[in-house]
Structure 1
């Protein structure tokens, strides 16, 4: 089931619209942040049942950027944050950004934004089979 997960769908859509970004569908890989391109990681943090047939998925999207100076880094970071929010808002119906919060990542090495989104789906667990 994980290949069709909400997390993977969000990461795939971000990759489609932001091809110059490094985007992973798992928590941050420190080696990726220094490649000179904005880095985004996407991972699920919570699933909540909404009755018998619907689920609410809380997904965290971390956005990091590094540039030559603090001022350039700040500009790059805001641009990366805004681009992620634009893709989520304009190209992902059913995905709703809840909060974009300034954070530090990877043992306080990089500044960035943690974006929390909620996505809704039918309860796929009702028909899924256990994977050995």
Structure 2
């Protein structure tokens, strides 16, 4: 199986929230193969995220221009590095494991915390 085929399986599974069984029928491979390919690509994306999701200035020496040029923010936020936010994202979980993930909207979700710079670049992401 080529790298492109593996990436297609991964993206198709994510985009359509497809189950392992659905993917087995769609591409005529075993469930073990689908799971293995999905884990391989997920691991590669995780490793790639180490290079992509990071601050532009790792030493945080500079104050953002958005803060410097706006008297509403300066000097109150002059040492601000990023903006942090948390959100709940719908999760696809087996019915017997859903109870710990059900929140106020009565659907399974996972809490995602992210920070981004003022130019909308992610510098940190945590799913937990």
Instruction: Please report the TM-score for the alignment, with normalisation by the length of structure 1.
Output: 0.30
Which of these two proteins has the greater Rg computed from alpha carbons? 2
**Structure that is richer in strand per residue:** 1
Which structure ranks higher in relative contact order (CA pairs < 8 Å, sequence separation ≥ 6)?
1
